[in-house]
Amino acid sequence: MSSKNHRPFFLTLLVVIQGTLAAMGEQSTPQLTETPKQTEERLAWFRDAKFGLFIHWGPAALSGEEISWGMAGRIEGGAQHMKVPRETYMNLYKDFNPVKFQPDELVSLAKNAGMKYLVFVTKHHDGFSLWPTKEKRFPENADYPVHYSIADTPYKKDPLRMVQQAAKKQGLKLGWYYSTRDWTHPAYLQGDNMAYNNYYENQVEELLREYGPVDMLWFDHCFEKWSQYTIPRLYEKMYAHNPKLLVNDRAAKGLTDIPAEFAPLRQGDFDTPENRMGAFQHGRAWESCMILSPHEDHGGWSYRPDAKTRSLTETIRLLSSCVCGDGNMLLNLAPLPDGSIRPEEKAILEGIAPWIRKNGEAIYATRGGPWINGPWGGSTYRGKQVYLHLIDPTDEPYIFNRLPQNILAATTIDGQEIPFSQNSKKGTISLTLPKSARDSHVSIIKLTLDKEVQEVLYGPALANQQANDIPGTLTFHPRNAEHKGDLQVTSSGESSVLTHWNNPKDTANWPLEIDSPGTYTVQLTTSATEAGSTLSVVLGKTTTLHTLVPRTGGEHNYQSYQIGKVTFPNAESIQLLLCPNDDGNWKPIQVKEIKLIPYNSSHD
For residues 8 and 78, which CB has a smaller minimum distance to ligand GLC in the complex? Answer: 78
Minimum gap (Å) between residue 202 Cβ and ligand GLC:
22
303 part of the interface to ligand GLC, by CB under 6 A = no
Nearer to ligand GLC, 224 or 274 (CB): 274
Q: How far is the CB of 521 from ligand GLC (least distance, A)?
A: 22
Single residue of 96, 301, 381, 586 touching ligand GLC by CB under 6 A: 301
| Residue 87 in contact with ligand GLC, rule: CB under 6 A | no
Nearer to ligand GLC, 276 or 367 (CB): 276
Interface pick for ligand GLC out of 135, 158, 182, 220 (rule CB under 6 A)? 220
DSSP state of 374: B
Shortest Å, Cβ 221 to ligand GLC: 6
Q: Which is nearer to ligand GLC, 40 or 296 (CB)?
A: 296
Shortest separation between residue 514's beta carbon and ligand GLC, angstroms:
30
Strand-strand pairing, 246-247 and 216-219: parallel
Query: Beta 443-449 vs 407-412: how paired, if at all?
Result: antiparallel
| Nearer to ligand GLC (CB atom), residue 58 or residue 393 | 58
Any residues with CB less than 8 A from the CB of 18 and at least 6 apart, and which? none
Least separation in angstroms between CB 56 and ligand GLC: 6
Work out whether 80 is an interface residue with ligand GLC (CB under 6 A).
no
Residue of 491, 579, 483, 566 whose CA lies nearest to 523 = 566
The distance of closest approach from Cβ of residue 205 to ligand GLC in the complex, given in angstroms and rounded to an integer, is: 22
List CB contacts of 303: < 8 A, sequence separation 6 or more: 57, 60, 61, 64, 334, 335, 336, 337, 342
- DSSP code per residue over 235-282: HHHHHHH-TT-EEBTTSSTT-BS--GGGHHHHH-SBB--BSSPPPP-S
Bridge pairing between strands 173-178 and 117-123: parallel
Which of positions 444-463 make contact with ligand GLC (CB under 6 A)?
A: none
Residues 6+ apart with CB under 8 A from 328: 46, 49, 50, 51, 52, 270, 285, 286, 287, 288, 322
Shortest Cβ distance from residue 198 to ligand GLC (Å)? 23
Q: With binding defined as CB under 6 A, does residue 274 bind ligand GLC?
A: yes
Q: Distance between CA atoms of 484 and 273, rounded to whole angstroms? A: 28
User: Least CB distance from residue 44 to ligand GLC, whole Å?
Assistant: 24
Q: Closest Cα partner for 595 from 516, 534, 526, 522?
A: 522
> Can you say how many angstroms the Cα of residue 401 is from the centroid of all Cα atoms in its chain?
29
- Using CB under 6 A as the binding rule, whether residue 289 contacts ligand GLC is answered as yes
**Cα–Cα distances in angstroms (integers) from residue 602 to residues 62, 517, 589, in the given order:** 34, 16, 35
Q: How far apart are CA 123 and CA 144, in angstroms?
A: 16
Of 223 and 420, nearer to ligand GLC (C-beta) is 223
Question: What's the CA gap between 135 and 196, in Å, rounded?
Answer: 11
Closest to ligand GLC by CB, 82 or 442:
82
Number of residues in contact with ligand GLC under rule CB under 6 A: 7
Residue 176 near ligand GLC by CB under 6 A = no
Q: Give the per-residue contact string, 16-55, with ligand GLC (x = CB under 6 A; - = no).
A: ----------------------------------------
What's the closest the beta carbon of residue 498 comes to ligand GLC, in angstroms? 31
Taking the C-alpha atoms of residue 484 and residue 488, their distance in angstroms, rounded to an integer, is 9
Residues at the contact surface with ligand GLC, assessed by CB under 6 A = 56, 67, 220-221, 274, 289, 301
